[in-house]
Structure 1
């Protein structure tokens, strides 16, 4: 069996600025000059003191363990998704934007979106690897019905004047690591804008889940940012973008998610290929400082009719590289750190860990650069390349992926 050579990126957790945007062509019969709407909202990243889920007693080790566990689970999910990969696209016309705050069980971000009329606020994890958006719904008790504890009241469709069931309750979906059962319905979604106003969009399809397994935490459900026609992206337009800032700063409040034709790319951009609802990038090489690593470009390519390639994913904090790319990076990082940092042992073929504090002991460490198509470079500074796992220990946030299929 061929090695599955794919890499997972959550750019928001590694860089001071990250933007993902994809565009599909909408089929229209008449031209339009209507300017797409733009709604800007404050967004809160994981670990922020502004998050309603902020846990002041959580230690550095607690946060690091969540990062590792959630990224490992996500890797397994995407591996399974590769087995049933297929092309999907979507179209649409409108533009909305929603606030993002941290979900506590996983290291994901959640959008604060209200559902129904009157609006019922829900906290939904954003996910580029899924298309169906869903939230927990009443009733949560009875035959084959079970809801997990969430931070806000569970949505009750019987109290909404705009709820319409589309498909019977036997509908079953598997998203992220969760199995979700319940009716497919349409509802009015309400988004909060940056000026504290709101915008409501009617007749949005979503899953009304009253039997959920493998999902939990403070969030209520999920926002699907995949490319199929059922995704929120396709229902609200033909583009989306997300931007997360310096996540090491717990005071940072300028993260945002944009959905619709008003989403813009500023500065340089690199092509995206949409396959099976996943977003593939063309990574060409990796350098450390002025040294270009000896990695064959074929390592990052997706061969025709075979699995592989480079995926950007909103649900993965760590970056995974196949051995042919990880090993040269690992060797060079260890060489540069030798004599400057105190290593913590462990296998020389795994991500290196050192004694110390990142912003104190890594000053001047060379920047690692991921070189993408169209001349786009992603620079990983010391706070992007490493993450603190204990008060006096840090490890490289790029790890090997020994995945086969």
Structure 2
């Protein structure tokens, strides 16, 4: 929840090489398809060659959203998320590799002059050297809507922000506007102008976290978010989230994002994406779960769908019912064990001795049923993680609280599309390779 000093030229897809064609687009693009970089990819700055597969999987299992108390609210541990977005910022363009996160709404990058930055193998963005940087005054509507108004604010003061996470890297600096450049499949560039972003000059204790991270690509829904501006986006995570060799994971931005498949109602609350879960089935059976446990009754309750969590975190009553059913199916045949994922959180995963491919053949699918007949169907690779060569664990974990969080493992092999204007979330089971632009 781990980094090496990996030569930066191999860490990033540098989108400013080879004089790419820059398309003059008077307005935001209708459809922008981006390849996502896995954090553990050999081409990623996060890759740790000394870390074995088992350690990576254990770390992956414990990634979860956490609550924070901040000026701009965010709810994950960003330095440990799995998928990264390539883009460049400014003019001249400076390449970035930032964490994709639907659990926070701010796009921020490390900026010079920097009191605390970590990117030792790449140029850090410097607003003083960019011809397209625009200061956002603290009296602007965009600044005031992003946090509580500062009574001492004047038009000559820059808009400041403070992004803090309970565990992991935070960021402080100024909100501003800048252009972002994205590489397209035909070696061109698409440029988005006047994107609000956080220019982070003080980015937490980065030496104890991921020293090579560029920032966070927030896709939550607040006024300052890129998701709010583009209205639609989707991502497709295929294969296995712990497999860094799978190259077809996609993020699609803009009105042309494919909003297809079965849909359910999407509610945006404090920037988070809430859905209404009606029940869970294991094969043809439904464990006895009161659907009211998934209802939103106040802050930090209900069901959130999130790209910043890997495992699914379920309120205790729902988890117990699901676990009891899984236990009744597996205990007669397999030896149950457990593994401690995080001693600080007293977090223990329920595991079984064996392998998913051999010992779970014929295990029934688990289905999450949402309002509107939309479903997420979890096969064994989405429900369990092979944490060691001879041991696998249930990838649904109990949460201490009233909010259920549906993580990326449950969303594998789906294109998950967010239509913010229509308040609709869609699930389409698909091979992500078919989304090639």
Bucket of the pairwise TM-score, normalised by the shorter protein = 0.7 to 0.9
**For the Cα contact (< 8 Å) 2:337–2:352, is it kept in 1?**
yes
Question: What does 1:162-177 align with in structure 2 at a 5 Å threshold?
Answer: 162-167=132-137, 168=157, 171-177=160-166
Residue 296 to residue 134, structure 1, CA distance change in 2 (3 Å): same
Please say which of residues 46-55 and 241-250 is displaced more in the overlay.
46-55
User: How far did 1:40 drift?
Assistant: 2.2
Give the number of the structure whose residues are more often strand, by fraction.
2
CA distance in 1, matches of 2:123, 2:264: 41
* Residue in 1 that maps onto 2:277: 283
User: How far did 1:53 drift?
Assistant: 4.1
* SS of structure 2 residue aligned to 1:37: coil
Residue 279 to residue 273, structure 1, CA distance change in 2 (3 Å): same
**For the Cα contact (< 8 Å) 1:66–1:107, is it kept in 2?**
no
**For the Cα contact (< 8 Å) 1:116–1:189, is it kept in 2?**
yes
* Residue in 2 that maps onto 1:111: 85
User: How far did 1:175 drift?
Assistant: 4.6
Structure 2 residue 40 is the aligned partner of structure 1 residue 65? no
* Residue in 2 that maps onto 1:123: 97
CA distance in 2, matches of 1:118, 1:284: 50
* Residue in 2 that maps onto 1:255: 249
**For the Cα contact (< 8 Å) 2:182–2:191, is it kept in 1?**
yes
CA distance in 2, matches of 1:387, 1:333: 14
* Residue in 1 that maps onto 2:131: 161
Structure 2 residue 292 is the aligned partner of structure 1 residue 298? yes
Q: Which runs of 5+ in 2 are unaligned?
A: 1-26, 138-156, 341-346, 404-437
* Residue in 2 that maps onto 1:196: 187
**TM-score of the two chains, using structure 2 as the length reference:** 0.72
User: How far did 1:251 drift?
Assistant: 3.0
Please say which of residues 41-50 and 119-128 is displaced more in the overlay.
41-50
C-alpha RMSD over aligned residues: 2.9
**For the Cα contact (< 8 Å) 1:42–1:194, is it kept in 2?**
no
* SS of structure 1 residue aligned to 2:54: helix
**For the Cα contact (< 8 Å) 2:67–2:165, is it kept in 1?**
no
CA distance in 2, matches of 1:40, 1:375: 28
User: How far did 1:56 drift?
Assistant: 4.0
* Residue in 2 that maps onto 1:10: none
CA distance in 1, matches of 2:338, 2:104: 38
CA distance in 2, matches of 1:401, 1:116: 41
CA distance in 2, matches of 1:307, 1:58: 35
User: How far did 1:285 drift?
Assistant: 0.5
* SS of structure 2 residue aligned to 1:124: strand
CA distance in 1, matches of 2:31, 2:273: 23
Question: What does 1:171-320 align with in structure 2 at a 5 Å threshold?
Answer: 171-177=160-166, 178-213=169-204, 216-217=209-210, 218-235=212-229, 237-247=230-240, 248-303=242-297, 305=298, 307-320=300-313
**For the Cα contact (< 8 Å) 2:37–2:44, is it kept in 1?**
yes
* Residue in 1 that maps onto 2:380: 382
* Residue in 1 that maps onto 2:352: 354
Query: Which is bigger in relative contact order (C-alpha 8 A, separation at least 6)?
Result: 1
Please say which of residues 309-318 and 350-359 is displaced more in the overlay.
350-359
CA distance in 2, matches of 1:371, 1:297: 11
Q: 376, 399, 403: which one pairs with 1:401?
A: 399
**TM-score of the two chains, using structure 1 as the length reference:** 0.77
* SS of structure 2 residue aligned to 1:182: strand
Deviations 1:351-393 (A, max 9, x none): 4211122223222211111111111121111111111222222
**For the Cα contact (< 8 Å) 1:351–1:400, is it kept in 2?**
no
CA distance in 1, matches of 2:250, 2:54: 27
* Residue in 1 that maps onto 2:325: 332
* Residue in 2 that maps onto 1:366: 364
* SS of structure 1 residue aligned to 2:125: coil
Matched residues, number: 343
